[in-house]
Amino acid sequence: MKIVISDQKSGKSYTTEIAKDKEARLIGKKVGEELEGAIAGADGYTLKITGGSDLSGIPMRPDVSGPRRASLLLSEGPGFRSTKKGERMKKTVRGNIITDEIMQLNTIVVQAGSKPLEELLPKPQKEEKKERK
């Protein structure tokens, strides 16, 4: 599972991958709950779950209860972007409880730790491509 940590003060976001054993501690939590940042490698930080998406890219909605998928008539919010005023459309969304099917979890920083996130979660080095002849 990937965790995206958004730092609202700096305007940056950091992506990290978590292990399967730590992933089990997240299952059953709801959108809006807080968790310790040590799960994602951000020791000393407190993170708030704001949403996520599953294997197919279907987004989580905080107002849909349970770990289920549902087809709803939406006019705004996560899972729908309207192009016209008053537009509504039936869209498939996922509930607000984290399951093993969730592949990406979006979080924001509620309480910062002693070290900045840039030190705790460094960017991966890009490999240089060799030119072909």
Contact 48, 107 (CB under 8 A): yes
Q: Is residue 123 part of a domain?
A: no
User: How big is the chain, counted in residues?
Assistant: 133
Q: Is residue 94 part of a domain?
A: yes
Distance separating alpha carbons of residues 35 and 32, to the nearest angstrom: 10
**At residue 133, does pLDDT exceed 80?**
no
Q: Is residue 127 part of a domain?
A: no
**Torsion on CA atoms 50, 4, 108, 21, rounded to nearest 10:** 80
Q: Is residue 130 part of a domain?
A: no
Stated pTM of the model? 0.84
Per-residue pLDDT, averaged over 63-84, amounts to 92
**At residue 126, does pLDDT exceed 80?**
no
- For the stretch 28-47, pLDDT in tens is 999 999 999 888 888 889 99
Q: Is residue 66 part of a domain?
A: yes
Q: Is residue 27 part of a domain?
A: yes
Q: Is residue 8 part of a domain?
A: yes
Q: Is residue 120 part of a domain?
A: no
Q: What are the angstrom distances between the C-alpha of 131 and each of 62, 112, 122? A: 48, 43, 27
- For residue 82, the enclosing domain spans 2-113
Give me the number of domains the chain comprises.
1
Distance separating alpha carbons of residues 97 and 24, to the nearest angstrom: 13
Average model confidence (pLDDT) for the chain?
A: 90
